[in-house]
A and B are shown apart, each in its own frame.
Chain A
Amino acid sequence: MAGLELLTDQGYRLDGRKATELRKVQARMGVFAQADGSAYLEQGNTKALAVVYGPHEMRGSRSRALHDRAVINCQYSMATFSTAERKRRPHGDRKSTEMSLHLKQTFEAAVMTQLFPRSQIDIYVKILQSDGGNYSVCVNAATLAVIDAGIPMRDYVCACTVGFVDETPLADLCHAEEGGGVSSLALALLPRGGQIALVQMDARLHQDHLETLIEAAMTACKGVSKVLDGVVRQHLHEASVHSRE
């Protein structure tokens, strides 16, 4: 947008954050009693709900079952009122299908699927409000939901979207920054080992800057993982206090 400075000279962004600052993350696990695992996560103004069913028997075609590991089935959808312009179809369009495949790929790297051969794990993510970083918020919410369902994972999966403006990487982009012609990169990380589950970028970036950008993304993801860890421990503490009474 003409006239909108994504990064001022003093180092402040559109919403007043510094370049490496993440948005406020608030989350809650066990939101729905009927699903096996569920979580709600807010990152700034982006809100996502993730629900996990499984591991259960393969639904639909039995032939798609894998003999040595579980099949992970993801669906990404957005509420019709989530974006500023009303969306006519919640899912089924190309963007949603692509996101679903990315989520599937991300979680196949983290979930220990070889413990559940011939079964299926369903992960459904719903965006209630969209303000940038949709993929990252979905991954973070889905991680909490998978943990809530008690499905073993190698590590937390934390994701963050970073952009590159004026030679500076900006962590955790909001919607205005994403649309402002910024080269943005989405990264999903398993923080303890520093393993990258998914990296995606579709903008032009000079290859000299790539390493700085990935470094910035990994630092941001490690920040998110600390918050998620805190949420999980808090949830366990509440559950243990509740069961003791």
Chain B
Amino acid sequence: MATVQVSEAEKVYILHGIRDDLRVDGRGCEDYRHMEVETDVVSNTDGSAKVTLGHTAVLVGIKAEIGKPRPLIPNEGYLEFFVDCSANATPEFEGRGGEELGTELSNILYKVFNNEHSLDLRSLCISPGEHCWVLYVDVLLLQCDGNLYDAISIAIKAALFNTKIPRVHISSDDEGGKEIELSDDPYDCMRVDVENVPCIVTLCKIGHRHVVDATLQEKACSVASLIISVTHKGVITCTRKVGRGSLDPESICEMTEAGRRVGKALHSPLIKLLQQEESLGKKRQKVGFLG
């Protein structure tokens, strides 16, 4: 990830501030930065969303294609994740520089969504064993200022909410094989139920306390971080510890509790915002990057 150099004096300043629940930009330890979410930014895709969290900017595009289901699970569709750390974020990501971070991010996304509760994959099946919908979730990292996991997960949830998959009719043709017809009507589509899609919360341990939504500066002062993915009911689907340092078990329990609390509180405002955006329909002013 793009790193910043932080001097010892700055580290001490940040540490002391966090000890008193006051961060450099005035937030509390469990406050997020200003977040902006907008869906339907790229019209070429079946669903898209753009999330700006402070200076971190993420764009997610989802394309639905018909493919063959996995041999072990013939009656479910699946998701494929690809994270592109573009050179826009930092020149270090030019060429193949961003591949390492991209693979790490997409591996975590696979783990987060690898359970039967997050998404109803059975609704993505067209005919068991032969055809299913494959959702290609492409994440584009545009600007990097810490807390990538949270921004990416919120963007994925918003993009999945926005995804419109065309309805399919299966008919058998003359030789007895199956023919797939996509509905021509652009409004005749199936939506994905995103109620149980988890959101990722990253907690960084700085000193003896933990903070949510750390900036790059705060990350440089932290020992280790814990990544937790939480659904709206408070169910944890994936936990991972990242970073160079080590954590003791009490901190992990504390951070998990805090993460669950913060994660649970993220979902309802997000869904409300998405529903509000959707209710505006055609009247909505599409801003995208022009705002």
Contact = CB atoms under 8 A, between A and B. Distances in A.
Interface of A: 26, 28, 31-35, 38, 40, 42, 45, 47, 49, 51, 53, 59, 73, 75, 77, 79-84, 86, 90-92, 122, 124, 126, 128-130
Given A81-B138, A128-B42, A122 B289 contact: no
B86 A129 contact: no
B251 to A, nearest CB: 31
Contact of A75 (B48, B87, B138, B140): B87
A77 B91 contact: no
Given A28-B291, A128-B59, 14 more contacts: A34-B90, A34-B145, A38-B88, A40-B288, A42-B290, A79-B140, A80-B61, A80-B136, A84-B44, A90-B84, A92-B95, A124-B94, A129-B44, A130-B44
Looking at chain B's contact residues, the main secondary structure is: loop
Nearest to A50: B88
Contacts, number: 94
Contacts of B145: 34
Interface string B52-77: 00010101011101000000000000
Given A32-B142, A34-B143, A51-B87, A122 B42 contact: no
B43 interface: yes
A94 to B, nearest CB: 15
Contacts of B95: 75, 91-92
Given A32-B57, A51-B88, A122-B87, A82 B142 contact: no
How many B residues are at the interface, by size bracket? 20 to 34
Contacts of B59: 79, 128
Q: Considering the complex of A and B, which 3 residue pairs feature the smallest CB-CB distances, nearest first?
A: A81-B61, A40-B289, A124-B87
Contacts of A82: 42, 44
B109 to A, nearest CB: 15
